[in-house]
Chains A and B, each alone.
Chain A
Amino acid sequence: MLRIDDLVVRYGSAVAVDGISFEVGAGEMVALVGPNGAGKSTLINAISGLVPLHSGTVACEGRIAQVPEGRQMFADMSVEDNLLLGGWSIRNRDVGEVYDLLPDLARMRKRKAGRLSGGQQQMVAVGRALMARPDLLAIDELSLGLAPLVVAELAEHLRILSRERGTAVLLVEQEVALAFDVCPRALVLEAGRIIAAGPSVELAQSETVRKAYFGDLAVAETMTGATAPATTEVST
């Protein structure tokens, strides 16, 4: 349902996304991992139409909604208003569905979004994206700042969405173990290019992927701890 062909995105003369092509099928869950500055957020924003494309195409059948990097709350508005605005593109003003899925949001519906904790805001961001009844949900950092229990819960919600509603998910995630666990397929980005792609289980073992994180301490540790049995070299 999403098809990206030879996409290039530039900021001035700097190339952030350098000729990327891939596809995401309906209801498919795909992880997008890579070191800081690899171009993950840029790619997501290009898919959502928030940054201009330099060349290449993004074709999507259906609606895209985004859980953006840094949450991007409407800080001085209530949680409920944030959700309502999430439904702007399809004039969806029925927040009940999202409250059913994320009951915590119903409890804080009257509170100002800017006054919530980081994790609560992340939940609002997810709820807001769901208000658009997306066919593709692009999530830029799901676990950042969230308690493990909440992450597990959200991940489960995503699986349910994908299975029952056929919502495709594109998941950017620094917790590589989590990303590979949730998404059967993964893309590894580095310096604006896809350097590895395939089933998550295979990528988790691959040498290329570990090399991509060489020197990136946090991720390297996560990977050794969770999936890869290799020795870690720390170069800092």
Chain B
Amino acid sequence: MTELVAYLISGIALGSSFALIGSGFVVVHRVTRVVNFAQGSVAIVGGMTSATLLDGLLPHGLGEIAAVLLCGVVGLVIGLLAIGRRGTPPLISLIVTLGASMLVSAAIIWLWGQDPVAPPGLGGSVTILGAEVERQRLLVVVATGVAFAALALFFSRSYLGKGLTASASNPFAARMVGIDVRKMGLLAFGLAGILGGLAGVLIAPSNPLSFYSDLPLVLSGFAAAVFGGLTSPLRTLFGGLCLGVAGQLTAGYLNGSYQTEMALLLMLVIMIIRSRAFVQEEVK
């Protein structure tokens, strides 16, 4: 029982980071129809940067925020590469994001080496239902909740958020009312960078990151986004949490090295089950 609680909570924490990365996929895809595969490497940059900044340069809080903001800039640059040229087809942009991801990975190896890096987290732990839980993991869950609430408010209430939603909903009409749809796409890339960075910053203290983490992160994040039909942040959150919990249970009771395969398998199953819904959404 205590074991199960521990797995569940660490699964939810890990799943939260998948959900954050996944919502980055969603935000970019909705506005630009591009699948941004650089999401995983941006998350790693976030974790690594916060480790460097917190190593005597900046205090807790500031260091994390600075790392997340830097990721926003990295996201924006990736956006410029991917959709900066007017009229680039989404599939070409997708390839560009793959290339950008490799570049970022190279930069990570160059700057931080190949070994896993873990920034200092909150430290300490609390006991929940008999299970000892790192406070950092709780922070991940709370911060993710806040981030998703902020995201929802941003899209539904703010004028800029409505502009983004409009660009996603009907690009022609958006251009017609004077919205610069390409700028909105770049904004989406920046926002995705922030979300990915947040995921990396939050998860790295309990799951040290190296450039090898890219594939599992990007796959899990993408699987979560697929669960949300690449359009719904809320369903992406749910998908991410399911994935995280399933992964931790697999790792705990079966074998840790199956986690990524688990994510892939789940994504396949979801895609098959949801393919009908996909087609219907496309037709709409």
A interface residues, Cβ below 8 angstroms from B: 48, 50, 65-66, 68, 72-77, 81, 84-86, 88-89, 91, 93, 128, 132
Contacts and interface: CB of A to CB of B under 8 A. Distances in A.
A144 to B, nearest CB: 17
B173 A68 contact: yes
Contact of B178 (A73, A76, A81, A88): A88
A88 B179 CA distance: 7
Interface range, B side: 10 to 19
B175 A85 contact: no
A158 to B, nearest CB: 19
Contact of B177 (A75, A93, A132): A132
Interface of B: 159, 162-163, 165-166, 169-170, 172-179
Main secondary structure of the interface of B (DSSP, over half): helix
B165 A84 contact: no
Contacts of B165: 74, 76-77, 81
20 contacts: A50-B172, A68-B172, A68-B173, A72-B170, A72-B172, A73-B170, A74-B165, A74-B170, A75-B169, A75-B170, A77-B162, A77-B169, A84-B159, A84-B162, A85-B174, A85-B179, A88-B163, A88-B178, A93-B159, A132-B178
A73 B162 CA distance: 14
Q: Is the interface of A mostly helix, strand, loop or mixed?
A: loop
Contacts of B178: 88-89, 132
Given A72-B170, A74-B170, A76-B169, A50 B176 contact: yes
B92 to A, nearest CB: 20
A88 B169 contact: no
A163 to B, nearest CB: 25
Contacts of A48: 176
B143 to A, nearest CB: 28
Contacts of B162: 77, 81, 84-85
Given A72-B172, A93-B159, A86 B166 contact: no
Contacts of B163: 85, 88
